């Protein structure tokens, strides 16, 4: 009976490890989004996460919500620097998210400043 419990617990831990590895390392999709970065915040009580929003339309009707992992400090710094400007985001969409990663399934991995296609004069 003791051997059965040990094997069951080991199998459960193995399945959990494979699941977390799959969710973390296998992206559902990868892509780019461009727009005006208008919100970046560090949210949460126990587990703080970086969350942001990108306006993809003139009227702000298309909002792209994204998260940034805490390990990507350069991306966080760049996003804070480009606040209110037109940027191009490189992102990965995950199959699932966990509360300590962020609210969104879209995780920004790189950001670069772009010139806006809208010319205001």
| Domain spans of the chain, in order of start | 27-113
pLDDT of residue 120: 61
* Closest to 57 (Cα-Cα) out of 29, 76, 38: 38
SS3 37: strand
Q: What is the dihedral of CA 76, 27, 106, 81, to 10 degrees?
A: 20
User: Which of 2.40.50.140, 2.40.50.100, 3.40.640.10, 1.10.1040.10 is the CATH number of 27-113?
Assistant: 2.40.50.140
Residue 41 phi, psi (nearest 5): -145, 155
The answer on pLDDT for 117 being more than 80 is: no
CA 79 to chain centre: 13
pLDDT digits (tens, 9 = 90+) for 58-114: 666 789 999 998 888 999 999 999 998 999 999 999 988 887 888 899 999 999 998
């Amino acid at each position: 009976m003791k051997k059965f419990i040990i094997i069951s617990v080991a199998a459960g831990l193995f399945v959990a490890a494979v699941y977390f590895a799959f969710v973390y390392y296998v992206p559902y999709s990868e892509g780019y989004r461009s727009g005006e970065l208008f919100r970046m915040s560090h949210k949460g009580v126990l587990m703080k996460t970086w969350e942001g929003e990108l306006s993809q339309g003139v009227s702000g009707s298309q909002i792209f919500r994204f998260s940034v992992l805490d390990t990507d400090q350069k991306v966080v710094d760049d996003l804070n620097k480009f606040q209110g400007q037109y940027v191009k985001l490189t992102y990965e969409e995950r199959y699932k998210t966990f509360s300590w990663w962020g609210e969104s399934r879209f995780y920004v991995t790189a950001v670069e400043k772009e010139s806006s296609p809208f010319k205001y004069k």
